Structure 1
């Protein structure tokens, strides 16, 4: 017998009409999408953050060599003054595709001659192009974001005097889904750091070496292993890594693996010869050409920093 005064709805509780439920799901989906777009948006350094910075091109040349710009952006095999022509074209294989270094010479069309200083710093420290697109992290903005902006101002001043090149940039060879640039914003959320990997108290020489290695020279990009998404594994900092080319491994630079003295490391960074009279090969040849342009004190500082690293795997 049906109980008086109670409808079937009252017995089972209120129901939500299907149309309202779908509207709710759509609104929730849009909210999630909007939040995702917000947190993965390309970041920009405003002009106001750079006010008062004046660059010194002489100091900027040292930054140029320390930052290794020619190692990637000069033509393959470039020698001498030709290393100042940043026409791009070198290819870098990875698990995500092959990245091709672009023309970053001051050419107004083929290069970055139309950029201003804020565009330059935004690219180097946020990985964002003047068009508001993410750069791929094959470009080591993850390290350059730790650079002092005065150094970047000096570098920009030096850049103005570099020779322009009209060689066009080539497209990266990256397939789906890695070709979705917005996804780099998610990668940035997981991997961008605003502190040095090596913490703790360092003396002035060691701190200078840390700055050179971690911020400018971005040595960890090759000498530190990566996780499945391509981010640096900070728990194995400078502990060696597979060679992205697929040939061999890149050696560890931790003191338990690299047992050379501070003086021997500094000498190797100057002339490329190891203590047992072997010589540098591969991409390291270009790196040493850069390091040889720095003051001896900087090479000694890099060596001192390497001696402070924890053993590989600890």
Structure 2
């Protein structure tokens, strides 16, 4: 085969590869909500406070040892080790420069449901937009109104400590194609209480992000929903909270989410203690709704 033919073949392969890469980059580009997605929605900061506590914002974005009103100082800084690197919670306080004080409701909605920053970049899924994608836009608008009332903190966000190739965010578009799914995990005929519990567990409270095992690419294994798995730092395990393991009554579950005490008089520890501080602020009927939902989840031994 002559040299000119080989050159043409090589150039054709290079061109095909370039076209293929361009197509992939276009398909997986960060994409926000339609411009009119929030039209007609009126913000209510009081309702937004319930969304704030249900969503666990303070558990990650306040200081780990914060108490009382310090829970509303959302300067970030908590570190979350994982197989992909160490992620650091950013400042989401009301500071206009270091925090999200300049964000619009649409900015927050794009971040929470599409994993897209105001600058048009992919967020890492350590920010649980995979669960928040099931949230109603009304709740997000209300949450934005509440976040406008929290204190400003001028501390800059620390960068994530993520090495190659995970520091290349373009690849996150492919991750989203595989795993970003706003469909409910638990389907079927649910009571209004169970439906509310599903919304809290699968969307706002993002319980599955910890209690569901992940595959090699960090995607949730939905066929083992809430069955527990190793912690991202590899030093422990999240418990199985399906009926196959968790045999507490609905009242027991609701009490644990209120006080942190188990039926055996043990108490919540670690990051779960921070979660309980959030769920304790929810209306009692929401804690009972979570308990009712957990009883409907398919049991996994």
Task: Give the TM-score band, short-chain normalised.
Answer: over 0.9
Q: 1:222-267 deviations in whole A, cap 9, x for unaligned?
A: 1000000010000100001112232221101101200000001000
Corresponding residue for 1:291?
279
Q: CA deviation at 1:58?
A: 0.5
Quote the Cα distance in structure 1 between the aligned partners of 2:299 and 2:64: 34
Corresponding residue for 1:149?
137
- Among 130, 148, 151, the alignment partner of 1:160 is 148
Quote the Cα distance in structure 1 between the aligned partners of 2:182 and 2:281: 28
Give the superposed CA RMSD: 1.3
Corresponding residue for 1:8?
none
- Residue 288 of structure 2 corresponds to residue 300 of structure 1: yes
Q: Which of structures 1 and 2 has the bigger CA Rg?
A: 1
- Residue 75 of structure 2 corresponds to residue 87 of structure 1: yes
Corresponding residue for 2:160?
172
Corresponding residue for 2:179?
191
Give the conservation status (yes or no) of the 8 Å contact 1:61–1:158: yes
Quote the Cα distance in structure 2 between the aligned partners of 1:273 and 1:26: 62
Quote the Cα distance in structure 2 between the aligned partners of 1:62 and 1:194: 21
Q: CA deviation at 1:19?
A: 3.9
Question: What residue ranges of structure 1 are gaps of 5+ in the alignment?
Answer: 1-15
- Residue 275 of structure 2 corresponds to residue 312 of structure 1: no
- Among 53, 62, 65, the alignment partner of 2:41 is 53
Q: CA deviation at 1:26?
A: 2.7
> Which TM-score applies when normalising by structure 2?
0.97
Quote the Cα distance in structure 2 between the aligned partners of 1:273 and 1:30: 58
Quote the Cα distance in structure 2 between the aligned partners of 1:292 and 1:207: 20
Quote the Cα distance in structure 1 between the aligned partners of 2:142 and 2:35: 16
Quote the Cα distance in structure 1 between the aligned partners of 2:18 and 2:58: 45
SS in 1 for 2:169: coil
Give the conservation status (yes or no) of the 8 Å contact 1:68–1:290: yes
- Among 70, 73, 90, the alignment partner of 2:58 is 70
Give the conservation status (yes or no) of the 8 Å contact 2:244–2:299: yes
Give the conservation status (yes or no) of the 8 Å contact 2:87–2:161: yes
> Which TM-score applies when normalising by structure 1?
0.93
Give the conservation status (yes or no) of the 8 Å contact 1:44–1:122: yes
Q: CA deviation at 1:201?
A: 1.4
Quote the Cα distance in structure 1 between the aligned partners of 2:5 and 2:56: 62
Quote the Cα distance in structure 2 between the aligned partners of 1:252 and 1:278: 17
Corresponding residue for 2:201?
213
